[in-house]
Chain A
């Protein structure tokens, strides 16, 4: 009944350690986690054939979520999907989540009986907790030395989160607008998954125009005096699934 997980990394040692870390969170609960990492014990690299085998092994009929590190790991995982049986391919998800954060969260979700889409959505929002904990980055100072003194760019803070299965429908969008209006800052949003343009997050109709569905990644860009706290509060709101309790 459990979604399988596959860890793809350039480094076999890194993948093993990541799996150990995740296993610690779900001790005793049987989530099939398989690795396809490194060309051998010590040579860095990824191998699409090995990834395909890991996906096929991890699949127990309920789908697989694949977490990857960088670069060729992604290309090899995409190619690997061409090598697995169609049924397995159709229920496999390649997760854009950061490897470690995503794997730990995905393991917990899978152990709890979540389906593949839910596990992938959880993994996708894994970075939000860290971002919210650490707050915004310092403002970026441009360092052009030949055109006068350095200037400080108006600091915009960015954050993103994955939407719950119901997407950004009217109620959560209204809740978001409400939260935006409590802060002295300019909030913009875009649907990262659909690569949409930025729209005002203070406008309900603009937000609904993003056509943001469950699992889509919504990005926020906030500037102004209360940008940092505003973003933090909205990420917290998103983590509470916009205070929607029913119909999940």
Chain B
């Protein structure tokens, strides 16, 4: 597989929804430790709304898919993940333009634009213990793999590994953003729920291309 069309990207969104739904209580438990115990519930409600829209309207190109995903998340998640994931997909849509087939370089640029959007919207930097700590390392690893000889699916697997490592690293840190930051030092010792769901976003992208 050298490129993505709207069908592959739709499969990514469906796989992400499945992972979120399977891990609702895990995400909520993480959030109960350092937040307000709603991340799993909010994301599941959001992704259910994304799926409903996807069943109803088949997007004509990748950008349209990202846009309708953003719209559904923005209006149904409720918590901070709504505008954050919403911004991620809106920036991706803008970067994808009207292309019907997305090659590795375009995908890398779109993911980068999405991550930059999340950082800007959340005023978050690396090590703030947020979803950026999974997404940032993922796009860095993806770019690095693509600059070498890796295939698209290899590069995405490395991105997913980097996202998982980034997620795990948040466990030792003190939160500097969001409700977890109210806890100060007590936020250390727990994985950030946003980083955990963000790692699922990249893992699901990798898994739809696995073996391709």
Which size bracket describes the interface of A in this complex? 10 to 19
Chain A, range 70-112, C-beta contacts under 8 Å to B: 71-72, 75-76, 78-79, 82
A1-B80 Cα distance, complex, nearest whole Å: 34
Q: Is the CB of A79 within 8 A of B87?
A: yes
What does DSSP make chain B's interface, helix, strand, loop or mixed? helix
Q: How far is the CA of A190 from the CA of B78 in the complex (A)?
A: 36
Once the chains bind, are A78 and B121 in contact (CB under 8 Å)? Answer: yes
Report yes or no: B78 in contact with A75, Cβ–Cβ below 8 A: no
Q: A76-B83, A79-B86, A79-B87 are known contacts. Are A44 and B78 too (CB-CB below 8 A)?
A: yes
Which residues of B have CB within 8 Å of A72?
78-83
Residues of A within 8 A of B86 (CB): 48, 79
**A240 vs B118: C-alpha distance when bound (angstroms):** 42
CA gap between A49 and B73 in the complex, in Å = 10
Residue B75 is within 8 A (CB to CB) of chain A in the complex: yes
Once the chains are docked, how many angstroms separate the CA of A46 from the CA of B75? Answer: 8
Q: Are A71 and B79 in contact (CB under 8 A)?
A: yes
Give A43 to B42 CA distance when docked, in angstroms. 10
List, in ascending order, chain A residues with CB within 8 A of B179's CB: 71
| A residues near B79, Cβ cutoff 8 Å | 45, 71-72
Q: Is B74 an interface residue (CB 8 A)?
A: yes
Judge if A50 is at the interface, Cβ distance under 8 Å: yes
Contact B74 A45 (CB under 8 A): no
CB < 8 Å: which of B42, B71, B75, B121 contacts A75?
Answer: B121
B78-A39 in contact (CB<8A): yes
Contact status of A49 and B80, CB under 8 A, knowing A71-B179, A79-B87: no
Tell me which residues across on chain A come within 8 A of B75, comparing CB atoms: 39, 47-50
Using C-beta atoms within 8 Å of the partner chain, give the interface range for chain B: 20 to 34
Q: How many A-B residue pairs have CB under 8 A?
A: 55
Which residue in chain B gives the minimum CB-CB distance to A10?
Answer: B78
B121 touching A46, Cβ below 8 Å: no
A-facing mask of B61-82, CB < 8 A → 1, else 0?
A: 0000000000100111111111
Question: Given A39-B76, A79-B87, does the pair A47, B121 have CB atoms closer than 8 Å?
Answer: no
Query: In the complex, are the beta carbons of A48 and B42 less than 8 A apart?
Result: no
A70 vs chain B, min Cβ distance (A): 8
B84 at the interface (CB under 8 A from A): yes
Is B172's beta carbon under 8 Å from chain A? no
Contact of B78 among A45, A78, A79 (CB under 8 A): A45
- In the assembled complex, the Cα of A72 lies from the Cα of B121 at a distance in Å of 11
Are A79 and B74 in contact, with the CB atoms below 8 A? yes
Q: Does B59 contact A (CB under 8 A)?
A: no
Please, which residues of chain A bring their CB within 8 A of the CB of B42? 45
Across the two chains, which residue of chain A brings its CB closest to B42? Answer: A45
CA A75 to CA B178, docked complex, whole Å: 11
Binding site for B on A (CB under 8 A): 10, 39, 43-50, 71-72, 75-76, 78-79, 82
12 more A-B contacts (CB under 8 A) besides A39-B75, A71-B80? Answer: A45-B42, A45-B82, A47-B78, A49-B71, A49-B74, A71-B79, A72-B78, A72-B82, A75-B80, A75-B83, A75-B84, A79-B87
Query: Would you give 5 A-B contacts (Cβ < 8 Å), ordered by A?
Result: A39-B75, A43-B78, A46-B78, A71-B179, A79-B86
Q: Sort A-B residue pairs by CB-CB distance and give the 3 closest, nearest first.
A: A45-B78, A72-B80, A75-B83
